[in-house]
Structure 1
């Protein structure tokens, strides 16, 4: 009932007052954020210990209005479901695990939790319930435990990056069943065991294999010869044997980084990709003579074959002229510029 005093207001002012009063009690009419998504985000904030960097996650505001740090919603389909969660440098007040409530955001296609020193514990197998995920980044944290095999259930995955954590155990052999996977980056962990034979069955979309700075051992599977990798980094492990399967003149390889292993194969017999711009083979047991094809690599800007068992004349010309003696040092019997001349 409108009081008698309100009858004295002009009708236009009365209408305005009634409208403003109604809007105070009906904020949801203009809010685009799905209430389930908003609830999940506020639970995540709580599970993180309410870090100051998430102070923009204000329950009285719309989580899809662009002010919630690291949160984006699907505006293309007008469903406004939270599909992107990108959190980094969070000042967590104490060590916590990956918030369980993340799995209550079923429309996520991009999930990144990076450079959060107080993010600890295991990667939860339940992450596989996020069946729309395409990009998953858990890098530069302090996560422990194994990489869960359940990741192979997320058939939409394109990129996996768990680099620079404290993950242990083997490489999951089931990852090769992911039909859209483009690359895995697991550098800087404590992963052990061998590279699975199944990794030769990655799809054609798979172009990046980076596993450096781990404790991987054994031989590189011959099946990897079937891959056409643009970027491969297996450096600083304990791998042995033949790595020639990673080379090929018919491939599009740009970077091959194999330094600090115990690999042994004849470098003179490998084919070289015309796109090769980085080749680091130092500190292995590689033998043979350097292939003449190195002088024809137009994009080569990083090259090091020191501390191996190479012999013979160093090819002359092309981009090889930019590399000094350090890049060839400590081999069995390499000779020629920039090293001392070969003995006749």
Structure 2
């Protein structure tokens, strides 16, 4: 049997080992309670209470890694909890924190650099949709060099975007849209972020300037959102280098010239939004961007005919081309698109007969071709999925589509419809708007 001294040393060693393995847990728990206290102990964080749940890794929005007493807090995710105040200075006492999501709250103040710079392992930071304001600091590059995802969108940050925002070499996502930024953005510096996959600068009042050619270097980009930021000139041909794009949004700018051919040949592009610019020219006959799902080139000055090749875009669900100068007929090929849900072609110069099979596109919910010069007859059978038929100010004939029992809106003003209205409109329980003046219909609306 060992001596009492030896036994005591052994017990102390066991206790020390136990304390060592539990210290990270107890320290992180204390830090979480300090964060909660700094926010005024909001009821949304009622679970952050050892009396309610001794294991803080099960508290709302807390993520841990490790096993047993050695578990450490690696993530805090508290979106949409109506949290007020500022980012607590104690947050980086969570020394293993890699993810912090405080989006969609009511946090205020300037960019919380002092609170966040000590978070040496932080890879994901989302402060979007809060009430942060003031200019971003020139030393924002003091954030963790491991930072991959930085989302500061939908706040009130103002002034120029500092070049230091591009001083985070590991960035894959830089999300700065919907703020009050002005001046010139640091395009040359941002273009050096070789690993960038997502970039948003939209909805900021930058100084008018052409689309930055430097961004053509960001060949890993899959998501590029640059709406409403006072861009001028043409869509760069050099952007054809962005072979990984799945989303391209350049809407609500002052872009001019033709849509480059590469756009219509892009093999990965799924979402294309170029609406509300001053783009001109005809669309090419050859369209091979077969992965397009949503296409919006509305409110421009585009001319010519709608390409027959659109019928090969088998994934297309939204076709928005309204308020342009398109001519000719609507191609019959688009009636073969199995996923097409919405067709918006109003206020163009389209003519000729509407393809009869358009009424049987299986997923079609909306057809809006108002203010054209199209003809054709409304058929007896229309898909029950259709909810909105807007064909006013054309030259359609036929009668009210009694088979379209899912209708919510029917606008056929100023056409050549005839016949009687249905005696029982209760067959259309969802109908909210009915406009049929300027036709040759008889009967009355019950």
| TM-score past 0.5 threshold | yes
- Does residue 335 (structure 1) correspond to residue 397 (structure 2)? The answer is yes
Q: What does the per-residue CA deviation read over 1:198-257, in whole Å, with 9 as the maximum and x for residues that have no partner?
A: 22331x221111100111111113343454411100000111112224621562110000
Partner of 2:174: 111
- Does residue 165 (structure 1) correspond to residue 229 (structure 2)? The answer is yes
Unaligned stretches of 5+ in structure 2? Answer: 1-91, 99-107, 129-143, 401-411, 420-439, 441-446
Distance 1:276 1:188 in 2: 25
- Among 318, 321, 330, the alignment partner of 2:383 is 318
Alignment of 1:163-242 (within 5 A): 163-202=227-266, 204-242=267-305
Q: Residue 114 of structure 1: SS of its match in structure 2?
A: coil
Indicate the structure with greater helix content.
Answer: 1
Shift of 1:155: 1.4
- Does residue 133 (structure 1) correspond to residue 196 (structure 2)? The answer is yes
- Does residue 81 (structure 1) correspond to residue 146 (structure 2)? The answer is yes
TM-score by length of 2: 0.58
- Among 55, 66, 74, the alignment partner of 2:112 is 55
Partner of 1:276: 340
Unaligned stretches of 5+ in structure 1? Answer: 1-27, 35-50, 72-78
Distance 1:180 1:65, change over 3 A: closer
What stretches of structure 1 move > 6 A for 4+ residues in a row? none
- Does residue 288 (structure 1) correspond to residue 352 (structure 2)? The answer is yes
Distance 1:142 1:323, change over 3 A: same
Select the structure with the greater relative contact order (CA < 8 A; seq sep ≥ 6).
1
Larger radius of gyration: 2
Q: How many residues align?
A: 290
Partner of 2:4: none
Q: Residue 184 of structure 1: SS of its match in structure 2?
A: strand
Distance 1:67 1:251 in 2: 36
Distance 1:154 1:188 in 2: 23
Partner of 2:369: 305
CA contact (8 A) 2:123 2:149 kept: no
Shift of 1:137: 1.1
Distance 2:156 2:172 in 1: 25
CA contact (8 A) 1:91 1:116 kept: yes
CA contact (8 A) 1:121 1:142 kept: no
